[in-house]
Amino acid sequence: MTDTATNMRLKLPIACFILEIILIILFGVLVQYDDETDARKWHNKSNSDYDNDFYYRYPSFQDVHVMIFIGFGFLMTFLQRYGFSSVGFNFLIAAFALQWATLMQGFFHGMHGGKIHIGVESMINADFCTGAVLISFGAVLGKTSPVQLLVMAIFEVILFSVNEFILLSLLGTRDAGGSMTIHTFGAYFGLTVTRILYRPNLDKSKHRNCSVYHSDLFAMIGTLYLWMFWPSFNSAVTAHGDDQHRTAMNTYYSLAACTLSTYGMSSLTAHDGKLDMVHIQNAALAGGVAAGTAGEMMLTPFGSMIVGFLAGIISVLGFKYLSPILEEKLKIQDTCGVHNLHGMPGVLGAIVGAITAALATTEIYGNGMKDVFPLVAEGEREAVQQGGIQAISLAVTLGIALLGGLIVGFILKLPIFGAPSDTICFEDSVYWEVPGEEPSHEDQLTQVRTEEADKLNS
């Protein structure tokens, strides 16, 4: 299954090598250790070892890292013949995006004398930006070449960083777990891209656009790692102390409640009451997305569970009723249903965050206000204004995602990137050397024969 169009022999090596060489040069020119990773600077400060940010954030970083590479990668292995590409392209574009994001975010987050300073917090932020790219990947899964994906990542990382800069730095928005910056942005960017890349004859590949028994089990590995480590995701870059602690706990309860509503809805919406793996694999995670903004706030476990409960219901309903409409009417072919897992729950999370922010009082937050809402604590802004800013931030995010997706979608339509034709979508063998499914019968016969011979000889 090789033809000229999809042959990557020149395109992919050129893309990988040129991108990596540019990255290396830019790192050489622009990037320095920060005060916590530089041997001289750290020892000048006479800190105690346990003050090093490494001990506050590295366990969370590793959990996030697992979500990015195992979580997203294996979640997408549900397709019967696209496991290599799901895990493998996820791996490739994540490894690229995290380097590129280090530069882009470093540039926007503020340079230090012309240099970008990096440490564990920038590593987490780079993984976060990568997460948005992988969400968009989920929308176009099976229909794009690895070169297209790298090109998408180049532009999406820039746009993500611009949006993040506007929200966090210019507007003073709070979004620790990225309901807006990561999930809403990644989803609507990806949905716009897949709309532009609409394939009217994609049903020629529909026999491959579904799962088999074992591929669904592989996908559950991805689901569970995302589910378990989401508390670390949302709490990874919040302030030290009670903030990380509270955020992790809020997310934990949101996810637990979401899981029960997902199972309930999945069974309720099936005519025979049978559970659908697509819902379990995806909708049960919506509670983590929806707690992304308000998780660090005093949402209370009670509030978190309500949010998670609603997120699960919305997500299953989206898979069941909205996705088919989006595909038929709006021509949005959303392979993984990212609109249901990241899009709607992300918007829900943004709204919950705006409301929770607007209700913040000194009575509730005490001196902790300065960690969660520094501008409110400093008297620069009322809580209600903060809530309004949060809502505006959602609109900004949607705007940049849709406009950015539109432009990038048209760029990806250029015929030079080796996209697969409609008949060979969702198929690993287009871009991978693929072994057989099972030991062949011939092999097994050979095996038995040689074994028999072996026994006679021994």
Scanning residues 285 to 344, which ones bind a second copy (CB under 8 A)? 298, 300-302, 305-306, 309
Site for a second copy in 134-193 (CB under 8 A): 146
416 binds a second copy (CB under 8 A): no
Helix (H, G, I), strand (E, B) or coil at 434: coil
Q: Which is nearer to a second copy, 328 or 433 (CB)?
A: 433
CB of 107 to a second copy, least distance (A): 15
Binding mask 396-415 for a second copy (x = CB under 8 A): --------------------
Q: What are phi and psi of 172, to 5 degrees?
A: 70, 30
Of the candidate residues 261, 293, 315, 397, the single one contacting a second copy (CB under 8 A): 261
Under the criterion CB under 8 A, does residue 257 sit at the interface with a second copy?
yes
CA distance 353 to 373: 12
Decide if residue 12 touches a second copy (CB under 8 A).
yes
Report, in Å, the least distance between residue 403 CB and a second copy: 29
CB nearer to a second copy: give 25 or 330.
Answer: 25
Q: Which contacts qualify for 14-18: CB closer than 8 Å, 24 or more apart? A: 15/146, 15/147, 15/150, 15/151, 16/92, 16/150
Structure tokens at 27: 């790192």
The CB density around residue 135, as the number of other CB atoms within 10 Å, is: 28
Residues 68-87 that bind a second copy (CB under 8 A): 69-70, 73-74, 77, 80-81, 83-84, 87
DSSP string, 351-373: HHHHHHHHT--HHHHGGGHHHH-
Cα dist from 262 to 224, 257, 258, 352, 422, whole Å: 14, 9, 6, 19, 33
At position 354, the amino acid (one-letter code) is: A
Which range in 156-164, 386-394, 399-407, 443-451 contacts a second copy by CB under 8 A?
443-451
What is the C-alpha separation between 77 and 408, in angstroms, rounded?
Answer: 25
Query: Which one of 276, 381, 392, 407 is in contact with a second copy (CB under 8 A)?
Result: 276
Nearer to a second copy, 75 or 394 (CB): 75
How many chain residues are in contact with a second copy, going by CB under 8 A? 162
Contacts of 185 (CB under 8 A, 6+ apart): 132, 159, 160, 163, 346, 397, 400, 401
Restricting to residues 83-142, which ones interact with a second copy according to CB under 8 A?
83-84, 87-88, 91-92, 95-96, 98-99, 118-120, 123
- Report the residue from 156, 164, 175, 216 that binds a second copy according to the rule CB under 8 A: 216
Give 79's strand partners: 211
Q: Is 456 in the site for a second copy (CB under 8 A)?
A: no
Please identify, using beta-carbon distances, which residue of 329 and 379 lies nearer to a second copy. 379
User: Which of 434, 60, 444 minimizes the C-alpha distance to 235?
Assistant: 60
Q: How far is the CB of 364 from a second copy (least distance, A)?
A: 7
Stretch that binds a second copy, among 169-177, 274-282, 318-326, 345-353 (CB under 8 A): 274-282
* Cα-to-chain-centroid distance, residue 261: 23
What is the contact mask toward a second copy in residues 353 to 392, using x (rule: CB under 8 A)?
A: ----------xxxxxxx-xx--------------------
Q: Which residue has the tokens 């990380």?
A: 244
Select 145 or 192, whichever has its Cβ closest to a second copy.
Answer: 145
Given the complex with a second copy, which of 274 and 329 has the nearer CB atom? Answer: 274
Question: Based on CB atoms, which residue is closest to a second copy, 114 or 436?
Answer: 436
Nearer CB in complex with a second copy: 113/435: 435
Region 40-69 residues binding a second copy, contact defined as CB under 8 A: 40-44, 47, 49-56, 58-59, 62-63, 65-66, 69
Residue 359 CB, nearest distance to a second copy (Å)? 14
Alpha-carbon distances, residue 403 vs 105, 149, 259, 284 (angstroms): 20, 18, 34, 30
3-state DSSP assignment of residue 44: helix
**DSSP letters for 112-132:** BTTBEEESHHHHHHHHHHHHH
Q: Which is nearer to a second copy, 328 or 438 (CB)?
A: 438
- Give me the least distance between CB of 73 and a second copy, in Å please: 7
Q: Which of 414, 452, 433 is nearest to 11 (CA)?
A: 414
**Smallest separation, CB 397 to a second copy (Å):** 26
| Alpha carbon distance 373, 352 (integer Å) | 15
Q: What are phi and psi of 276, to 5 degrees?
A: -110, 125
Question: Which CB atom, from 119 or from 392, has the smaller least distance to a second copy?
Answer: 119
Distance between CA atoms of residues 95 and 98, nearest Å: 6
Position 201 contacts a second copy (CB under 8 A): no
Q: In whole angstroms, what is the distance from residue 92 CA to residue 86 CA?
A: 10
The correct pick among 115, 264, 391, 392 for binding a second copy (CB under 8 A) is 264
